[in-house]
């Protein structure tokens, strides 16, 4: 029995489809293959501008995903309504800006406490597990706990994008501190953004993390080795890092 969940984000299969306005490649097919490769969860981000995943994908994936469906979305009323209609197993609330290439920073829960609290309560009332995507910052973690989130996903982007060893070490330390704080206060803690086969080991070794959400690198790898193998190799890399950590 594995001590972690691998959520595979298949947004960029839809990015390829939308680039040409075709019906292929279909993220629904990608989800089947990802699950065959060992994905424990399928993650999709239905963005306000619908640049990749469409409501059609959400509707079909809700019916076909055999594991768990995690819907990333902005904390808006429109999206909350959609979540209620499709009932994903989990919602990850993320900040969203139209101009950004990808989710650039974590949610500012500390600053928007009341609005986020209301959104969390609404989704939880609908029997949906709610996670908040935040920077590895102690104030944000405490705020997420206060607003009643079931879990937080710590943004690993700053660690992944670090250009020097010193900055990378500092960012890794923030992730370690953040994960330990969550563990201490009883808040489930996940990791995601920018993770790939080259940078996963130190993050996967933080045993407090119980879930990893990885998209771009797995879809990129899938172009060369196929989706099933791309997922399986990431799953192996995480499992090996954790086994090694437990042995020392
Ligand atoms: N987690 C969250 C909350 C995200 O917004 C994203 C990107 O959609 C990911 C994880 C996956 O990031 P990446 O595609 O860089 O692996």
Q: What is the pLDDT of residues 229-242, one digit of tens each?
A: 999 999 999 999 99
Q: What CATH number did the domain enclosing 53 receive? A: 3.20.20.70
So what's the pLDDT on residue 96?
Answer: 84
Return the ligand 1 atom nearest residue 94 CA.
Answer: 3
Please pick, among 12, 52, 155, 193, the residue that the annotation labels catalytic: 193
Instruction: Tell me, using a 6 A CB cutoff, whether residue 103 lines ligand 1.
Output: yes
- C-alpha 212 – ligand 1 centre gap (Å): 10
- Given a cut of 80, whether residue 181 has pLDDT beyond it is yes
- Given a cut of 80, whether residue 216 has pLDDT beyond it is yes
Instruction: Tell me, using a 6 A CB cutoff, whether residue 211 lines ligand 1.
Output: no
The length of the chain in residues reads 248
CA proximity to 139, closest of 89, 185, 93: 185
| Residues near 14 by beta carbon (within 8 Å), at least 6 away in sequence | 27, 44, 52, 53, 54, 57
| Residues near 117 by beta carbon (within 8 Å), at least 6 away in sequence | 146, 147, 148
- Given a cut of 90, whether residue 16 has pLDDT beyond it is yes
Instruction: Tell me, using a 6 A CB cutoff, whether residue 27 lines ligand 1.
Output: no
Query: Where is pLDDT greater, at 103 or 165?
Result: 165
Decide: helix, strand or coil at residue 191: strand
- Residue 186's domain comprises 5-247
- Given a cut of 80, whether residue 147 has pLDDT beyond it is yes
Confidence band, pLDDT 50/70/90 cuts, at residue 105: confident
Compute φ and ψ for 71, nearest 5 degrees.
-100, 115
Query: For the chain, where are the alpha helices, taking DSSP H only?
Result: 11-20, 27-36, 55-64, 77-86, 113-125, 138-146, 157-161, 165-185, 200-204, 216-225, 227-247
Structure tokens at 54: 């469409």
Tell me what the mean pLDDT of segment 80-108 comes to: 87
- C-alpha 248 – ligand 1 centre gap (Å): 30
- Given a cut of 90, whether residue 217 has pLDDT beyond it is yes
Instruction: Tell me, using a 6 A CB cutoff, whether residue 192 lines ligand 1.
Output: yes
So what's the pLDDT on residue 89?
Answer: 98
So what's the pLDDT on residue 99?
Answer: 64
- Given a cut of 80, whether residue 104 has pLDDT beyond it is no
Alpha carbon 99 to its chain's center: 20
Based on the residue annotation, tell me whether 72 is a catalytic residue of this protein: yes
CA proximity to 240, closest of 216, 214, 191, 204: 204
> What are the pLDDT digits (tens) for 151-167?
999 999 999 999 999 99
Question: What average pLDDT does the chain have?
Answer: 96
Instruction: Tell me, using a 6 A CB cutoff, whether residue 195 lines ligand 1.
Output: yes
- DSSP letter (8 states) at residue 49: T
CA proximity to 160, closest of 210, 217, 243, 236: 217
Confidence band, pLDDT 50/70/90 cuts, at residue 248: confident
User: Could you tell me the pTM of the whole model?
Assistant: 0.96
The count of structural domains within the chain is 1
- Given a cut of 70, whether residue 102 has pLDDT beyond it is no
Tell me what the mean pLDDT of segment 18-46 comes to: 98
Distance CA 148, CA 85 (A): 22
So what's the pLDDT on residue 101?
Answer: 66
So what's the pLDDT on residue 100?
Answer: 65
């Amino acid at each position: 029995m594995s001590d972690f969940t691998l959520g595979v984000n298949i947004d960029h299969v839809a990015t390829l489809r939308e680039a040409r306005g075709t019906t292929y490649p279909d993220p629904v097919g990608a989800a089947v293959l990802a699950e065959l490769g060992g994905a424990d969860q399928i993650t999709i981000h239905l963005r306000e501008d619908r640049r990749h995943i469409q409501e059609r994908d959400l509707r079909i994936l809700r019916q076909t995903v055999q594991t768990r469906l995690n819907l990333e979305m902005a904390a808006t009323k429109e999206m909350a309504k959609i979540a209620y209609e499709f009932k994903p197993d989990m919602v990850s609330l993320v900040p969203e800006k139209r101009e950004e290439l990808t989710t650039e920073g974590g949610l500012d829960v500390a600053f928007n406490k009341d609005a986020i609290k209301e959104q969390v309560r609404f989704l939880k009332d609908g029997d949906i597990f709610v996670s908040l995507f935040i920077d590895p910052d102690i104030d944000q973690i405490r705020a997420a706990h206060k607003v009643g989130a079931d879990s937080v996903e710590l943004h690993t982007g700053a660690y992944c994008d670090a250009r020097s060893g010193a900055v990378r070490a500092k960012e890794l330390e923030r992730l370690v501190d953040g994960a330990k704080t969550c563990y201490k206060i009883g808040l489930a803690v996940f990791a995601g953004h920018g993770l790939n086969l080259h940078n996963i080991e130190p993050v996967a070794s933080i045993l407090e993390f119980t879930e990893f959400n990885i998209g771009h690198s797995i879809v990129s790898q899938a172009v060369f080795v196929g989706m099933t193998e791309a997922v399986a190799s990431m799953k192996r890399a995480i499992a090996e890092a954790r086994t090694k950590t437990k042995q020392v």
